[in-house]
Structure 1
């Protein structure tokens, strides 16, 4: 990669500096992120009790909104389920609201099946998406113990993300086991992104013709997105050598002709770093760990963390400009 190649001379290049243009609004939004009324709103209280079911069976005491709100408050404070129950119960007493709080066993049971509502920001036009993945630790023996003693339980989950670099919104995600490759999930992320996609940006780990085919298969042929993935070094032809004409081969020929840094600048590849910012926001919420033990609960736990991260960005988002 270029940044590794130029590392011995990088101290001569001044670091980029940025300034927040909307500091008063951004500062007020950061304060509002800690307002309990933002997370336990009047709408959540109004929808706390479930509607009566018309089919045979027992009636539920708590709606999906009540379970999701309680789990979200626990995730914000990084509380286990028992402490989450006590925390929300104390909030109901202080707010003088006559509502029953789900106990920790109900939270553990309903966390596997609750439907987490994912709010999508309204779009006014086509957007770029940046794709990447990260690992999340959960309970169980480590990798050394698993290989040493034949442990079948995995201790990592892999979170695949697609992020809008302009709004910092996480628009699609998939949680898989640690054996799933990154390119295998590209089609699912692009398909779940919805709307009109202008460009798909990813790092060199996604390089390969199957990734291009997966993206083309899930997007309409009348408006295909641009695919911006740097080809690997062995794929770069000699300068002036003819290429096959595919999009990947055109990228490789342009890198050979203009250089990798100029290719990144022309295609906006620098936006790829913003997905790392989104990953850091999620790991600040969960500490890079999952507390659930079953895969279904882990999927909903991650969905709640992503909903918190998106709401935080919706409340307070900095508008920056580069200072030269």
Structure 2
């Protein structure tokens, strides 16, 4: 996919939030699914968007089939952004090792809530691995989840939800073309 022109110029930095949504390619609507159940002929694509917190501009877009997870789409999204990124916010679907590795490669601070059953990642010698999510787990233990949300500014991730609402309000929930 062709990279979007970046809205950030020069030495400015980005604080991005990401999310994804399903777009229907083929199949019945949600009402029919609720009434009669899903048919075998439903086809979906996933739209992954990276949004700049400061401007609300879409900085990266990735359209995938529905078998690609949110975590698998992170690296292609990051590759599209040429500006310096300081923070990356996402929901717990992004709480995976491959996401943390991709962010660590680029020295990006993740703002991703650990899953409810998360434990500290350790290596073979039982030493805590140096991942920010381990620090997040410790902070949640100390501050509680609400305190961590405020301290980490995780609440800014709701801007990604707003972006998805704007997208679907403008373009709808169905893809009009495959090319």
Residue 153 (structure 2) aligns with = 268
Cα–Cα, structure 1 residues 175 and 117, in superposed 2: closer, same or farther, change >3 Å? closer
The yes-or-no answer on 1:285 pairing with 2:170 is yes
With normalisation by structure 2, the TM-score equals 0.82
With normalisation by structure 1, the TM-score equals 0.47
> What RMSD in Å do the two structures reach over aligned CA positions?
2.4
Equivalent-residue separation in structure 1 for 2:147 and 2:88 (angstroms) = 19
Q: What secondary structure is seen at the aligned counterpart in 2 of 1:157?
A: strand
Structure number with higher helix proportion? 1
Residue 13 (structure 2) aligns with = 126
CA contact (8 A) 1:236 1:255 kept: no
The yes-or-no answer on 1:197 pairing with 2:85 is yes
How far the C-alpha of 1:243 sits from its partner, in A, is 7.5
Show CA shifts across 1:262-314 (max 9, x none).
1111111111000111111111121211111x3xx1xxxxxxxxxxxxxxxxx
Cα–Cα, structure 1 residues 264 and 140, in superposed 2: closer, same or farther, change >3 Å? same
* Residue among 74, 99, 116 paired with 1:233: 116
Q: Which has the larger radius of gyration?
A: 1
CA contact (8 A) 2:20 2:46 kept: yes
Residue 145 (structure 1) aligns with = 39
Structure number with higher strand proportion? 2
CA contact (8 A) 1:236 1:256 kept: no
Q: What secondary structure is seen at the aligned counterpart in 1 of 2:22?
A: strand
Show CA shifts across 1:70-93 (max 9, x none).
xxxxxxxxxxxxxxxxxxxxxxxx
How far the C-alpha of 1:188 sits from its partner, in A, is 1.1
Unaligned runs of 5+ in 1: 1-114, 298-324
